[in-house]
Amino acid sequence: MSREMREWELIYKDWNPKEQGLREALCALGNGFIVTRGAFEEADAFGSHYPGTYLAGGYNRLETVIGEQVLQNEDLVNWPNWLPLTFRAEEGDWFNMEAVDVLDFRYLLDVRRGLLERGVRFRDVHDREFSLATRRLVHMSSPHLAAIEWSLTPHNWSGQLEIRSALDGSVVNANVERYRDLDNQHLEACGAGYDGDDAIYLTVQTCQSHIRMTQAARTQVFDGEMHVPIHREPQDESGRIAQLLVVPCEQHKQIRIEKIVAIYTSRDSAISDPETAARKAVRRAGSFDGLLRTHERKWRHLWNISDVSLRDGDIETQLILRLHIFHLLQTTSPNTIDVDAGVPSRGWHGEAYRGHILWDELFIFPFLTLRIPELTRSLLMYRYQRLDAARQLAREQDYEGAMFPWQSGSDGSEESQVVHLNPLSGRWVPDESSLQRHVSAAVAYNFWKYYQATGDMEFLSYYGAEMLVEISRFWASIATFNAERNRFEIRGVMGPDEFHTGYPDTEQPGLNNNAYTNVMAAWTLRCASGTLGLLDEKRRRNLLEELDVSDEELVRWDEISRNLFVPFHDDGIISQFEGYNDLKEFDWDGYRRKYGDIQRLDRILEAEDDDPNRYKASKQADVLMLFYLFSTAELKDLFEHMGYSFDSELIHRNIDYYVERTSHGSTLSQIIHSWVLARANRREDWPRFQNALRSDIDDIQGGTTPEGIHLGAMACTVDLLLRGHTGLEMHHDMLRFDPLLPKELSYIHMHVRYRGHWLSISITQTEFTVSFDRGWSPAVRIGFRDEVHEMEQGQTRTFKR
């Protein structure tokens, strides 16, 4: 792979069509409102290219008949392609990288400036040589604007050049191969036209959700800073509008083309309609260089609070960490605040999981909450605004309270597939992933952790408390009492593992007493009771009255939380679920010899007419998730509350046991294992961290990253440094640290925001330094191991390890 990494730049130095899909996902540009993949401007969605533009929360629902079954899917819509810009010399073909002789190539993503650049020198079939330099941005400060600049130089030819600038609404959803048999035509053309001499606009609407989008584009040609007088011809096709610009050019003389684009939708605030807004905005927008200056400034401000700096560290590790932060901020930026959108597991970068919201926010929020808590608050409101849908989903399953769906889209309905295609066997097989009830516990956990980090009592009182109560009601209703055990049980669910959907040789889906689910249910019930105790008496009384919660119900929650069953086997091993120990051991070595990559073991076994339900083989962390979410002290307290003894050796035994039985079929798996191993021995797990760090940039799952980045895994790699190696925890109105760097790192520097206070943190192998930069109150409590200090603004403390 011809790739170079610098501290802030990812550079590809060769044109490789086979890697283009991966590069387009990794080099996507966005601003929390829209994200556009890093496809070349001249490329259509064919062969190695897939230009895609996605709107935060922009979904549409379609039906497809598969056999005798009608499948309904809600998809993240691929909106019109605003990129199209191409050229041809007289008597020549339109520029196509796959049809020319590439003499030199450079493709650069600058994550510090949010800028995508390409440089290519090529020779066409008529032996005419050109150099093309392109720059592109999706504006972070003005989220409705985007811009392209082309600088084109003919080296051995003069004559007439034709330039075509277009907006293409004829696109479909075709990013994910296994979805391509499903209906994918989401857009209807509503209108298109010309605005003055140099601008075009296109309006489309989704066929079911009726979201309307207008794109307007202004294309101009320059000689230096002077406008070039050109001839323009309209080209209006079905679902696509373009302008043909005829430009004289001279040998060795560069011409510059700017395409400025405005994008508005019917979901936007403070507009009368998208078309009017887009046409006005594209007229008011400045030049490419002017937009770049304000765009760079906004990114500089974001990096000032978001960067994780590794002084004297490995350059590649530094760049990949920054690439991960870059994509986090492109998916969920300050522009997302007050937008009705959640955090998609694959970013707004592709069509995998149909852009749905899963539990990945559990792994993403820690980074955001400790930098931009206002953003986390807004994203939590995505869940709160769908509380009624979660209540309805619970009622449909004969439960009480609120049960959140495993996959959520526009309105909070369950969007999980009922069947999915195994690409190895070509068969459609049942999909039981909606049985992952633990997503409701993740929602509760996220609300509580936001409060711990911010002290936002208003939010906890009026949103968080209601969520925790309704989720607790759900857990209390799904738990059943087993008199023989004198314990409560939760039956018929799936855990995070996902390979295990039921018991061997049975047709009934679901597992009993998944340990992670039961422990998280107990935690939620206990947390809800504690939260109610934080409310002032009037608010507590009003909330319980509004929700019709009786004192007897609260007593039952406490009883259930203390008596939920957790299965164990083999001297302190927490069983992933009841009956796990009865399963067969899997032949890991044999299958690795046979197949090499066995990450997606479920697909391999199904293609062999076998079933992963028969084996002690997991896709990703399940029991070990408990050691990711909670410290040893927290787990000890929780297990003892549930009536089980707990010691730190239990953690080590469980880690050793499950690490040997996991295929890592999810990108989250490697980083969660790295986290829990680092907690057990923070100095020793650098290789596993490196594997997790490279999961997307190297596409270790062999084709999944082109369908969308893995945002949860990206966030986790940053969070391992942010919280894992600093030992950062939030307890009792205090921010506590217990730092220990892996031996491969000599220095980390970062900023965190805790309860309105901005802190600078620096860690070396021998020292930990914290500075109280500024805050909304004069003091903050900082814990360093067993010490507690109250720090004032402007104060710095250094602790020796």
- What are 657-702's pLDDT values in tens digits? 999 999 998 889 888 988 888 777 766 678 888 988 999 999 988 8
Cβ-proximal residues to 409 (8 Å cutoff; 6+ apart), any chain? 59, 74, 76, 354, 355, 356, 357, 415
* Whether pLDDT at 20 is above 90: yes
CA–chain centroid gap for 287, Å, is 32
Q: Which residues pair with 481 in a beta bridge?
A: 488
pLDDT greater than 90 at residue 731: no
Distances (CA, A) of 431 to 72, 117, 163, 501: 14, 41, 48, 9
pLDDT at 101 over 80: yes
Query: Does the pLDDT value for residue 115 go beyond 90?
Result: yes
Distance CA 570, CA 537 (A): 47
Give residue-wise pLDDT tens across range 250-261. Answer: 999 999 999 999
Question: What's the rounded mean pLDDT across residues 89-114?
Answer: 95
**Residue 658 pLDDT:** 96
What pLDDT, on the 0 to 100 scale, is given for residue 682? 64
Does the pLDDT value for residue 61 go beyond 90? yes
Per-residue pLDDT, 683: 64
At 215 the three-state DSSP class reads: strand
Structure confidence by residue, pLDDT tens digits, 380-405? 999 999 999 999 999 999 999 999 99
Instruction: Decide if 199 contacts 261 (C-beta within 8 A).
Output: no
Q: How many helices, marked H, and strands, marked E, lie in the chain?
A: 21, 34
Query: Residue 684: its pLDDT value, please?
Result: 66
DSSP element (H, E) containing 213: strand 212-223
The torsion defined by the Cα of 680, 682, 686 and 688, in degrees rounded to 10, comes to 20
pLDDT (average), residues 167-195: 94
The DSSP line for 426-483 is TEEEE--GGG-TTHHHHHHHHHHHHHHHH--HHHIIIIIHHHHHHHHHHHHHHEEEET
**Listed residue (548, 526, 504) closest to 444, CA to CA:** 526
What's the pLDDT band for 66 if we cut at 50, 70, 90? confident
Neighbouring CB atoms inside 10 A of 91's CB total 8
Q: Is the pLDDT of residue 211 over 60?
A: yes
Over range 404-420, report the average pLDDT. 95
**Cβ of 246: how many Cβ atoms within 10 Å?**
13
Reported as a pLDDT band with limits 50, 70 and 90, residue 1 is: low
Mean pLDDT of 256-278: 97
**DSSP for 253-305?**
--EEEEEEEEEEETT-SS-S-HHHHHHHHHHH---HHHHHHHHHHHHHHHHHH
**Which tokens belong to 416?**
């999980």
Residue whose C-alpha is closest to residue 618's, from 593, 586, 649, 590: 586
Report the alpha-carbon distance of residue 504 to residue 498 in Å, rounded: 15
Average pLDDT over residues 768-774: 94
Q: Higher confidence at residue 411 or residue 226? A: 411
Strand, helix or coil at 164? strand
Q: Which amino acid is at 136?
A: R
Q: How far apart are CA 249 and CA 159, in angstroms?
A: 6
Query: Which residues, 6 or more positions from 603, have their beta carbon under 8 angstroms from its beta carbon?
Result: 422, 423, 424, 425
Average pLDDT, the chain: 95
Q: How confident is the model at residue 46 (pLDDT cuts 50, 70, 90)?
A: confident
pLDDT of 743 above 90? no
Percent of the chain with pLDDT over 70: 99
pTM listed for this prediction: 0.97
Closest to 526 in 3D by CA, of 551, 556, 502, 504: 556
Catalytic residue, chosen from 498, 606, 634, 790, is 498
Q: Give 313 or 644, the one with higher predicted confidence.
A: 644
* Catalytic residue list contains 415: no
> Is pLDDT at 217 greater than 90 in this prediction?
yes
Beta bridge partners of 775: 757
